[in-house]
Amino acid sequence: MIMESKSPIVKHLVNRLRDAHCDAFTFRWLLKETAKQLLTECAEALPMSERKVPTWQGNYVGSFVDESKIVCVSILRAALPMQEGVMETLGEIEGGFLAMKRDEETHESRLYYDRIPDPKGKTVLLVDPMVATGGSLHDALELLLAREPEKIVTLNVIGAKEGVEKIAAAFPDVTVHIAQIDPVLNKDAYIVPGLGDAGDRAFNTP
Ligand code: PRP
Ligand code: URA
């Protein structure tokens, strides 16, 4: 299922990311803020539990996000600021990393590093700002689903219509929370209008 954000705050943050004059520090901060907003939008999918806490009025039983049942996985590199945002808000969840690089000729993604805590029975928040052809997200979802999580929710910033639709068709049980869907890919498989290369912009590489 695709859930495109309707929030004016999210649209504001995305359009600031598009600004070619946005420096790398601000770009990373905007990715982090957008991830926090998307986390709030997907919150109904998170596992909850009741807990007793001591307060100035005695014990109080309230609901909390069950952080022991959540893993946030980022697809390197550009997702790192998003993961930081999610893990700032939910400080005790587990973090995992998948490193993938798109081949510039074939546009196919290649996995070159995988360090993920066991997600079996847990909710996985899979973060990656860009969904272009959808190849990277597709491969990440296949890898994660084979490890039997309870559910997977993805948090993404900009997706090309064709890439997002490909993910929705291949993984009907996965919810894609995305800030903005853009119309097309160019011949180099970059999203248009998009924001350019998110990894390069976040980490100041040519
Ligand atoms: C970007 C982005 C996604 C991928 C999207 O990463 O962060 O992971 O491209 O493209 P796709 O949908 O066509 O697979 P990239 O491979 O450029 O790596 P980087 O973050 O290290 O720059
Ligand atoms: N990766 C990016 O960072 N941007 C795109 O537009 C496509 C892939």
Phi, psi of 145 (to 5 degrees): -65, -30
Instruction: Tell me which residue has its CA closest to atom 4 in ligand 2.
Output: 197
The whole-angstrom separation of Cα 86 and Cα 78 is: 14
**Mean pLDDT across the chain:** 97
Domain ranges of the chain: 2-46+66-203
Q: Would you say residue 21 has pLDDT above 90?
A: yes
Nearest atom (ligand 1) to Cα of 189: 13
Instruction: Tell me which residue has its CA closest to atom 8 in ligand 1.
Output: 136
Give the per-residue SS3 of the chain: CEEECCCHHHHHHHHHHHCCCCCHHHHHHHHHHHHHHHHHHCHHHCCEEEEEEEEECEEEEEEEECHHHEEEEEEECCCHHHHHHHHHHCCCCEEEEEEEEECCCCCCEEEEEEECCCCECCEEEEECCEECCCHHHHHHHHHHHCCCECEEEEEEEEEEHHHHHHHHHHCCCCEEEEEEEECEECCCCCEECCCCCHHHHHHCCC
Ligand 2 lined by 190 (C-beta under 6 Å): yes
Q: Say what the pTM is.
A: 0.97
Predicted local confidence at residue 24, as pLDDT: 98
Predicted local confidence at residue 56, as pLDDT: 98
Q: Could you confirm whether domain 2-46+66-203 is CATH 3.40.50.2020? A: yes
CB atoms < 10 A from the CB of 68, how many? 11
pLDDT, tens digit, 9 for 90 and up, residues 46-67: 999 999 999 999 999 999 999 9
Predicted local confidence at residue 102, as pLDDT: 86
Whole-number Å distance, alpha carbon 133 to ligand 1 midpoint, is 9
Q: Would you say residue 77 has pLDDT above 90?
A: yes
The whole-angstrom separation of Cα 95 and Cα 87 is: 8
Predicted local confidence at residue 133, as pLDDT: 97
pLDDT, tens digit, 9 for 90 and up, residues 22-43: 999 999 999 999 999 999 999 9
Nearest atom (ligand 2) to Cα of 189: 7
pLDDT, tens digit, 9 for 90 and up, residues 111-146: 999 999 999 999 999 999 999 999 999 999 999 999
Predicted local confidence at residue 31, as pLDDT: 99
Q: Would you say residue 199 has pLDDT above 90?
A: yes
Whole-number Å distance, alpha carbon 203 to ligand 2 midpoint, is 14
- Taking CB atoms and a 6 Å cutoff, what residues make up the pocket around ligand 1? 75-78, 100-102, 107, 109, 128-137, 163, 189, 197-199
Q: Would you say residue 15 has pLDDT above 90?
A: yes
ipTM for this prediction: 0.98
Predicted local confidence at residue 8, as pLDDT: 98
Distances (CA, A) of 152 to 13, 17, 138, 148, 190: 24, 26, 12, 10, 25
Predicted local confidence at residue 104, as pLDDT: 87
Whole-number Å distance, alpha carbon 199 to ligand 2 midpoint, is 8
